[in-house]
Chain A
Amino acid sequence: MSGRIHPGINLRAGDQQPTTEGVMFGFWVFMMSDAVLFALLFAVYASLSGNTAGGPEAGQVFKLVPAALETGTLLLSSSTFGLASLAMKYRQSMAWLQGMLAVTLVLGMIFLGLEIHDFMDMARQGAVPQVSGFLSAFFALVPTHFLHVAFGCVWIVVMMLQLRVFGLTHTTRTRLLRLGLFWHFLDIVWVMLFSFVFLRGLL
């Protein structure tokens, strides 16, 4: 265990400690339970999406262009986070690492802004969660992802601060690894959302 590094841990062998594997594995398991949570919300959406109760339908309130923009932004933020991870692993400058985290943060916030704009737009058309089972399910599923991304943004800010305070220690390294997993996980969930909620509703 000591000499070899687990292929799932994106660190150099020297940066690993005996606890690293357990810590990372624990986060994977946590994400598994989070994935179950999303899966259930998807199932709720699937079973309620037809129950419009006289209110607006998916095709009337979803818009393809903003949803596509959001997808692009989030995917881009995942690649910038990937650059940050590489910077950490290969010990490029701290400025580059911090810079990539900052770009990821900005992209994440643009994503949140676009989504808020979408939600407001829907509200203006009277598509609020109280109208129907369909809209309740929509506003349970998509904002849960929104809250996760918002939490991820807070986490990025916290990590940027911790990098300033503590530098790259074993603790901050594994925290960044876990943040990375979380961020990419949210990206995957969004791809599901885009395909299953927006594309299915619009096409």
Chain B
Amino acid sequence: MGIEASVSPWLGKLSLSALPTDSVVAMGAALIAVLGALGTAGYITWKGKWHYLWREWFTSVDHKRIGIMYVVLALVMLARAVIEALVMRLQQADAVNQSGFISAEHFGQLFSTHGSIMIFFMAMPFLTGIINYVMPLQIGARDVSFPALNSISLALTAAGAALVMISLILAPFSTGGWSGYAPFTELSFSPGVGVDYWIWAVTLGSIGSTLTGINLAVTLYKQRAPGMDLMRLPLFCWTALCTSILMIFAMPALTVATALLALDRYLGMHFFTNDGGGNMMLYANLFWLFGHPEVYIVVLPSFGVFSELFSTFSAKQLYGYTSLVVATLTIAVLSFTVWLHHFFTMGQSAHINAVFGIATMLIGIPTGVKIYDWIFTMFRGQVRFPTPLLWGLAFLVTFVIGGLTGILLAIPPVDFLVHNTTFLVAHFHNMLIPGTLFGMIAAYQFWFPKAFGFRLEERWGKLAFGCWVLGFYLAFMPLYVLGLEGMPRRSAQVFDPSFRPWLLVAAGGAVLITLGLAALVLQLAVSIRHRDRNRVPVGDPWDGRSLEWACSAPPPKYNFARIPQVDARDAFWAMKQSGTAYVPPPRYDAIALPQSSAIGPVLGGLGLAAAFGLVWHIWWMAGLGVLGSIGAVIAWTFVPRPERTLSAEQVARTEARWHAAIAEATPASRDAEHATSNRGLAQVGA
């Protein structure tokens, strides 16, 4: 190979030619990434906050801090991936019978990073962060089962995201899409480092998610407060449990797929190659054995969020709780039986396609049950319409449309007609944007006051909502039409002028979505500026129903001074009804909390070094990363880790402050829910 000649022992294949100097757009993106990173680092240095960040955040094993860091990571990556989507929409609208403003190669990288980021480094960290923050509070626990492991998972996921960001500067990234189909991603068709970036970024994220799944599932099984039977769990916890179980079983398939692809590329093996007895269908099967459950990993937590929203904002018990639990479990099981519908056209017999087509349609049944349950929850409820619920309503309508097109695609003959067209692109965005992103944004709006102690500004939230929803319809409904007319997906250039009007509408939609993202950023900025008038120290601004609302906002490090005793579903609501909420216990006990640990950031750094070394064939760095990780874990097991104990007096002082805030607050009525007088003692639904 010609590349071998330029491999240096210290820098591997890395040289200045990796800088994306050939394209203005790519160079601009690289510059923004560099300036953004330098600017953030400079700002932190200027404020002198590095020590604080390291001590209180990066090494923290508190599930709440880790949850927030996950969400921050997700929002940063969301910004990049949305901008990439905008660039792609503009390119397609521009490149009708001309080459447009970016090259086909660059376009290929854009849809690959867009998809990989949105799934692995936006959706996954977002939902993991929200579950991390909310679930232990909802089950009345002090932390997850393995707090240090939690920090390690976050660091590995962040390392994967960092690798994708690095690929912006030391280019190129893969052009193989988020699914990285072999044999295109094999060395013979993709000789550069792009696919290697994809492999190792995804592998880091995948290992992090496997560990997260184990951690969350064990927490849900073993850390529930006394009386919190499984059938008393808030529905969000049920979806968190199913998502965790899916992670445990599905992520290994991704790890195997990427590892074997790496063996093909690095050691010349023949798993998925065209020659030497390889079988590319094996890759498709392995990838979608992970990939389809992954769809439910990212969708189920949103179902949980919406369940909480519909019930809270209708001031009503969730309708059909048991059927929602059964539907969630059914979806989790069925998600492993449908992976083949991702490649109906790739050569299996009609009988096999029929079986998987029917299995796919079956998933519509439990999902339909859920939709009806949510509607009936609102039925005859005293429904309020704050921003979080608006996302829920948009989800309800939009997700049903996406589901219907999914049923169409589940019919193999229909799939033969529209596969690989923008119809498919429209369909899965129609599922994942309402089904994952809207849910996560709603969760962010809903639980933000709990996490930071002040509410987000409703006005900017509603503007963001309007832009996102309208933008979504404008951006994706035209793609259904274009797909039916036969426009292939992933086209850098379009040769049919009749597509142009639709592409222009879609581009307009993408602009609106970008504005929606900007509105979210502004909402955050404005809310931080006006935080004092929006404070909710008591901690229950929405008249909530589950235990996370039963502590101050933000919650103390130990969550609950006394682990609550649970006697009913909607535990906090029951306490409020019976007058046992906010009653201080007769005395406080000392509380032991796990110590902060540097093991997470250390493993994240070493993991990143290993991955970067592997990408650029810098073997010393890869070896250092791998052996260093093993050494670090072994060394860590020799370090005694005493728990940090908060004395009963410290706990009593913290609790006294909260009880003083409760005594000062006046109950906020339905009309005052968004008024500054709502200090977090809402009695809206009474």
- B277 and A158 form a contact (CB under 8 A): no
Residues of B close to A44: CB separation below 8 A: 256, 260, 271, 282, 286
CA distance A29 to B251 in the complex (A): 13
Near A by CB (< 8 A), chain B positions 119-154 give: 145-146
CA distance A140 to B218 in the complex (A): 30
Q: A29-B214, A33-B210 are in contact. Are A136 and B251 (CB under 8 A)?
A: no
- B271 and A22 form a contact (CB under 8 A): no
Give per-residue flags for B273-317: 1 if the beta carbon is below 8 A from chain A beta carbons, else 0.
001111100100010010000000000000000000000000000
- B256 and A40 form a contact (CB under 8 A): yes
- B252 and A134 form a contact (CB under 8 A): no
- B268 and A51 form a contact (CB under 8 A): no
CA distance A55 to B269 in the complex (A): 13
Quote the shortest CB–CB distance from B49 to chain A (angstroms).
34
User: A37 an interface residue at 8 Å Cβ cutoff?
Assistant: yes
Give per-residue flags for A46-76: 1 if the beta carbon is below 8 A from chain B beta carbons, else 0.
0110011101000000000000000000000
**Nearest A residue (CB) for B641:** A171
B210, B222, B255, B270: the one within 8 Å of A22 (CB) = B222
Quote the shortest CB–CB distance from B453 to chain A (angstroms).
31
- Please, how many residues of chain A have a CB less than 8 angstroms from a CB on the other chain? 37
Near B by CB (< 8 A), chain A positions 15-52 give: 21-23, 25-26, 29-30, 32-34, 36-37, 40-41, 44, 47-48, 51-52
User: A95 an interface residue at 8 Å Cβ cutoff?
Assistant: no
User: A131 an interface residue at 8 Å Cβ cutoff?
Assistant: yes
A47, A131, A154, A165: the one within 8 Å of B638 (CB) = A165
**Nearest A residue (CB) for B281:** A47
CA distance A41 to B286 in the complex (A): 10
CA distance A129 to B266 in the complex (A): 12
CA distance A36 to B630 in the complex (A): 23
A23, A130, A165: the one within 8 Å of B269 (CB) = A130
Q: A140-B260, A162-B638 are in contact. Are A30 and B214 (CB under 8 A)?
A: yes
Residues of A close to B252: CB separation below 8 A: 33-34, 36-37, 40
- B276 and A132 form a contact (CB under 8 A): yes
User: B637 an interface residue at 8 Å Cβ cutoff?
Assistant: yes
User: A108 an interface residue at 8 Å Cβ cutoff?
Assistant: no
CA distance A84 to B618 in the complex (A): 43
Near B by CB (< 8 A), chain A positions 122-167 give: 129-134, 136-137, 139-140, 154, 158, 161-162, 165
Quote the shortest CB–CB distance from B485 to chain A (angstroms).
38
User: B263 an interface residue at 8 Å Cβ cutoff?
Assistant: yes
Near A by CB (< 8 A), chain B positions 585-603 give: none
**Nearest B residue (CB) for A157:** B634
CA distance A53 to B270 in the complex (A): 10
Residues of B close to A55: CB separation below 8 A: 277
- B256 and A47 form a contact (CB under 8 A): no
- A53 and B214 form a contact (CB under 8 A): no
User: B248 an interface residue at 8 Å Cβ cutoff?
Assistant: yes
CA distance A40 to B252 in the complex (A): 8
Near A by CB (< 8 A), chain B positions 452-510 give: none
Quote the shortest CB–CB distance from B41 to chain A (angstroms).
36
- A134 and B282 form a contact (CB under 8 A): no
**Nearest B residue (CB) for A50:** B277
- B145 and A22 form a contact (CB under 8 A): yes
CA distance A17 to B248 in the complex (A): 26
Q: A21-B222, A25-B222 are in contact. Are A41 and B279 (CB under 8 A)?
A: no
Quote the shortest CB–CB distance from B148 to chain A (angstroms).
12
CA distance A129 to B210 in the complex (A): 28
User: B253 an interface residue at 8 Å Cβ cutoff?
Assistant: yes
CA distance A48 to B263 in the complex (A): 15
**Nearest A residue (CB) for B268:** A130
User: B267 an interface residue at 8 Å Cβ cutoff?
Assistant: yes
CA distance A25 to B210 in the complex (A): 15
Q: A51-B279, A165-B638 are in contact. Are A136 and B248 (CB under 8 A)?
A: no
CA distance A40 to B286 in the complex (A): 8
CA distance A52 to B630 in the complex (A): 36
Residues of B close to A36: CB separation below 8 A: 248-249, 252-253
User: B217 an interface residue at 8 Å Cβ cutoff?
Assistant: yes
CA distance A26 to B256 in the complex (A): 22
Quote the shortest CB–CB distance from B529 to chain A (angstroms).
43
Main secondary structure of the interface of A (DSSP, over half): helix
Q: A29-B218, A158-B634 are in contact. Are A52 and B256 (CB under 8 A)?
A: no
- A133 and B255 form a contact (CB under 8 A): no
B210, B218, B277: the one within 8 Å of A26 (CB) = B218
User: B54 an interface residue at 8 Å Cβ cutoff?
Assistant: no
Quote the shortest CB–CB distance from A169 to chain B (angstroms).
10
Residues of B close to A161: CB separation below 8 A: 638
CA distance A53 to B274 in the complex (A): 11
**Nearest A residue (CB) for B249:** A36
Give per-residue flags for B196-229: 1 if the beta carbon is below 8 A from chain A beta carbons, else 0.
0000000000000010011101100111000000
CA distance A42 to B218 in the complex (A): 27
Quote the shortest CB–CB distance from A124 to chain B (angstroms).
19
- A37 and B222 form a contact (CB under 8 A): no
Near A by CB (< 8 A), chain B positions 571-592 give: none
CA distance A21 to B215 in the complex (A): 14
Residues of B close to A165: CB separation below 8 A: 638
- A133 and B277 form a contact (CB under 8 A): yes
Residues of B close to A25: CB separation below 8 A: 218, 221-222
- B214 and A129 form a contact (CB under 8 A): no
Give per-residue flags for B629-640: 1 if the beta carbon is below 8 A from chain A beta carbons, else 0.
010001001100
Q: A25-B218, A30-B214 are in contact. Are A129 and B267 (CB under 8 A)?
A: yes
CA distance A34 to B210 in the complex (A): 10
Q: A33-B251, A44-B282 are in contact. Are A139 and B269 (CB under 8 A)?
A: yes
Q: A37-B255, A139-B269 are in contact. Are A48 and B279 (CB under 8 A)?
A: yes
Quote the shortest CB–CB distance from B506 to chain A (angstroms).
39
**Nearest A residue (CB) for B286:** A40
CA distance A52 to B146 in the complex (A): 45
Residues of A close to B215: CB separation below 8 A: 26
CA distance A51 to B88 in the complex (A): 41
Residues of A close to B289: CB separation below 8 A: 40
Q: A32-B248, A140-B260, A165-B638 are in contact. Are A133 and B218 (CB under 8 A)?
A: no
- A26 and B214 form a contact (CB under 8 A): yes
A34, A37, A47: the one within 8 Å of B282 (CB) = A47
CA distance A29 to B255 in the complex (A): 17
CA distance A139 to B253 in the complex (A): 18
Residues of A close to B255: CB separation below 8 A: 37
Residues of A close to B260: CB separation below 8 A: 44, 140
Residues of B close to A23: CB separation below 8 A: 145
- B282 and A48 form a contact (CB under 8 A): yes
Residues of B close to A162: CB separation below 8 A: 637-638
CA distance A137 to B441 in the complex (A): 43
Residues of A close to B638: CB separation below 8 A: 161-162, 165
- A22 and B223 form a contact (CB under 8 A): yes
- B248 and A33 form a contact (CB under 8 A): yes
Residues of A close to B218: CB separation below 8 A: 22, 25-26, 29
**Nearest A residue (CB) for B278:** A133
Quote the shortest CB–CB distance from A62 to chain B (angstroms).
17
Give per-residue flags for A99-121: 1 if the beta carbon is below 8 A from chain B beta carbons, else 0.
00000000000000000000000
- A136 and B269 form a contact (CB under 8 A): yes
**Nearest B residue (CB) for A129:** B269
Shortest 5 CB-CB distances between A and B: which pairs? A51-B277, A133-B277, A53-B277, A136-B269, A22-B222
Q: List 8 A-B contacts (CB under 8 A).
A: A26-B214, A29-B214, A33-B248, A34-B252, A36-B249, A48-B277, A133-B279, A136-B263
* Chain B residues close to A by CB (< 8 Å): 145-146, 210, 213-215, 217-218, 221-223, 248-249, 251-253, 255-256, 259-260, 263-264, 267-271, 275-279, 282, 286, 289, 630, 634, 637-638
Known pairs A33-B210, A53-B276, A133-B279. 11 more at Cβ < 8 A?
A: A22-B222, A25-B221, A26-B218, A29-B218, A30-B214, A47-B279, A55-B277, A129-B269, A130-B269, A133-B277, A140-B271
